[in-house]
Copies of this chain bind each other. A is one copy, B any other.
Amino acid sequence: MENIDDEYRNYWETNMFLQTEELDRIGPFFDEAISTYYDYDSSSPDGMQSSSMASKNIVTERNRRKKLNEMIYAVRSVVPNITKMDKASTIRDAIEYIKSLQSEEMTIKAEISELEISGISSSNISANFDIDIQEATISCSKTKRTRMDHCHDYAGSRLVMPSPIEVLEGDVEEKDDLRVKIEAAIAALNYPDSPIST
């Protein structure tokens, strides 16, 4: 019962996003219609293959399409800057957003590693920083064995997929303010008398 409602919501959201496109097919009613229209129990193997099999394929394909559309809507809900309400454009904006977040995270992480190096010379917590990293590595590679291949570890996907179509070679829009902020704060805390060093 909730299946029908879910499919209704799918259609509704489609029309909300895409300005009442493809409303003609009522959609959920065709599930039952097909399963009662095609399934007239012809015991011959040929009839089974052409009628019931086809209806199952139809409903399976429809579920697959619905799932992919839900994923597209979920992407639209997560990514903040959606330019066009299109499938390809939505995924392109998501890729752009992921790239910007990755570059920002990389700069922050570089700052953290630099902080570790500067922390070795002054503080005593530098020793268990390395231990923490080692333990994280060990636990990560151990839990990987529990489930299936789970392609991760370093560059798991980039080795499989080197460079697709050189698509989206655009800007990464320079979100440096966070990096500069933490940088300045750490410098100010580390050397409170001299403002900036190196």
Interface-lining segment among A32-40, A48-56, A135-143: A135-143
The answer to whether A136 touches B196 (Cβ under 8 A) is yes
A88, A102, A152 pick with most chain B CB within 10 angstroms:
A152
A135 CA to B195 CA in the complex, in Å? Answer: 10
The answer to whether B104 touches A78 (Cβ under 8 A) is no
Number of residues of chain A lying within 8 A (CB) of chain B: 102
Given known pairs A98-B98, A148-B110, A178-B112, the reply for A183 and B140 (CB within 8 Å) is yes
In the assembled complex, A25 has its CB within 8 A of some CB on chain B: no
In the assembled complex, A144 has its CB within 8 A of some CB on chain B: yes
Q: How many copies does the complex hold?
A: 2
Main secondary structure of the interface of A (DSSP, over half): helix
The answer to whether A155 touches B112 (Cβ under 8 A) is yes
In the assembled complex, A114 has its CB within 8 A of some CB on chain B: yes
A151 nearest in chain B by CB position: B110
In the assembled complex, A44 has its CB within 8 A of some CB on chain B: no
The answer to whether A168 touches B74 (Cβ under 8 A) is yes
A91 CA to B92 CA in the complex, in Å? Answer: 12
Q: Which residues of A contact B (CB under 8 A)?
A: 6, 9-10, 13, 17, 64, 67-68, 70-83, 87-88, 91-92, 94-95, 97-99, 101-102, 104-110, 112-116, 119, 122-125, 129, 132-133, 135-137, 139-141, 143-144, 146-148, 150-168, 176-190, 192, 195-196, 198
